[in-house]
Chain A
Amino acid sequence: MPQANVTMQVRSAKPQVSIIDIQGEVTGFAENALMDAYTQATAGGANAILLNFNDLEYMNSSGIGLLVTLLIRAQRQGQRLMAYGLSDHYQQIFELTRLNDAITMYNNEDDALNAA
């Protein structure tokens, strides 16, 4: 199986809010990286997880599927999943796939943190 071409860094933004900085490609091969990042992000009891897409380089439909499974996982734990830093192109992908019905998009980190 090809290697995932993605790195995910987790940081704490404020109490109970974690940020996952995504850099590279979100495809089906990024599953382990994304789920590991989520586990790390929620280990301290975060109830809101912000996905930072500023450095997203590529996403295919399998990548969108991963975001859905991540969303369900977060919802089952009573956590909110939010996104920021999406380019116009990736905002359109969220609308095309109707992911925006469940994951609110923000322009920048400050806006997302204020809403979290």
Chain B
Amino acid sequence: MSNSQEQEKTQGSAGSRDAAYWASSVDRMDVGQLPPDAINLNVHGRQPLSPLQGFGQMWQKTYSIRLSGASASPTDVIRTWKQHFPEFWPEGNRFYGPLTGIAPGEVAVLNVAVPGGLKLSTGVRVIYADDESFTFMTPEGHMFAGWITFSAFEEADETTIQVQALIRANDPLYEASFRLGFGHKAEDTFWHATLENLAARFGVNGVAVTQQNVCVDPRVQWSEAKNIWYNAGIRSTLYMIGAPLRWLMGKGRRKQ
């Protein structure tokens, strides 16, 4: 790439230094090709949601871990995290990302383990990605409406890795799970494990994840209670319950 082409890429068509890092605006999410084992539900055609379109209390949850003793820079960490993102997820949870990797505009399907051996199928869209951070935006039906930003930065000559979620529970059912404690607990456990797995990639083990929760808005938005129509947990469960019926129908069609 020539210098002028590199400069244009950096500045973006609008002349803004950040232009190349942002996705384009879309009304609906669009899922590309997926592996056959992916449960592809509740993503394609769904609207992306910010925390402003969610139902429940708005929380900013920040999970951090310091790479004490490691020499990895923030850009090293983010490069590795983007390239190997699914590998750091806790066991039983699958992230089906695009082959092109974590890049602005890409959509990934998530199959998340929930109690009872079920899988909740939802997704995310990458709305921002630079050398030191990337951000997902969630679709209708996801457990929460909002953004999750993954970043790394230098602090006191060491690299700190961070996951920060700015979210509302998407509907009253999800909000109930958060208020009863197990929604928050599941979220916390998930990201603690992810950060610990990522830190271990850089040779850092046994360092605790720190967490800070801030309730940005204690009010719920009753106007968004209707979001329950898209609840990915309910829809995923109904899909799984219907699996035997779909098998029988498929068998019937094959006999014909």
Residues of A bordering B, CB below 8 Å = 1-2, 28, 57-62, 64-65, 68-69, 71-72, 75-76, 87-90, 92-93, 95-99, 101-102
Contact = CB atoms under 8 A, between A and B. Distances in A.
Contact of A61 (B12, B52, B133): B133
B33 interface: no
A64 B51 CA distance: 11
A71 B58 CA distance: 12
Contacts of A57: 16-17
Contact of A98 (B18, B19, B52, B149): B52
A89 B12 CA distance: 9
Interface stretch (B21-29, B171-179, B194-202): B21-29
Nearest to B12: A89
A68 B133 contact: no
Nearest to B58: A72
A-B pairs, 8 with minimum CB distance: A89-B14, A61-B135, A61-B128, A96-B25, A98-B50, A95-B25, A72-B217, A89-B16
A99 B52 contact: yes
A37 B192 CA distance: 34
B53 A101 contact: yes
B12 A68 contact: no
B211 interface: no
B186 interface: no
Interface residues of A, dominant DSSP:
helix
Contacts, number: 82
**Which range holds the interface residue count of chain B?**
35 or more
B139 to A, nearest CB: 12
B16 A68 contact: no
A60 B153 contact: no
11 contacts: A65-B60, A65-B147, A68-B51, A69-B60, A69-B216, A89-B19, A89-B22, A96-B23, A98-B48, A98-B49, A99-B52
Contacts of B53: 98, 101
Nearest to B219: A76
B149 A62 contact: yes
Interface in B103-134: 127-128, 130, 133
B12 A72 contact: no
A96 B26 CA distance: 7
Nearest to A91: B25
A90 B133 CA distance: 19
Contacts of A76: 217
Given A65-B166, A97-B137, A102-B52, A60 B217 contact: no
Contacts of B37: none
Contact of B21 (A60, A68, A102): A60
Contacts of A60: 18, 21, 128, 130, 133
B246 to A, nearest CB: 35
Given A62-B149, A98-B49, A101-B53, 19 more contacts: A2-B154, A58-B18, A60-B130, A61-B133, A62-B133, A68-B51, A72-B217, A76-B217, A87-B14, A89-B14, A89-B16, A89-B19, A92-B25, A93-B22, A95-B25, A96-B22, A96-B127, A97-B147, A99-B52
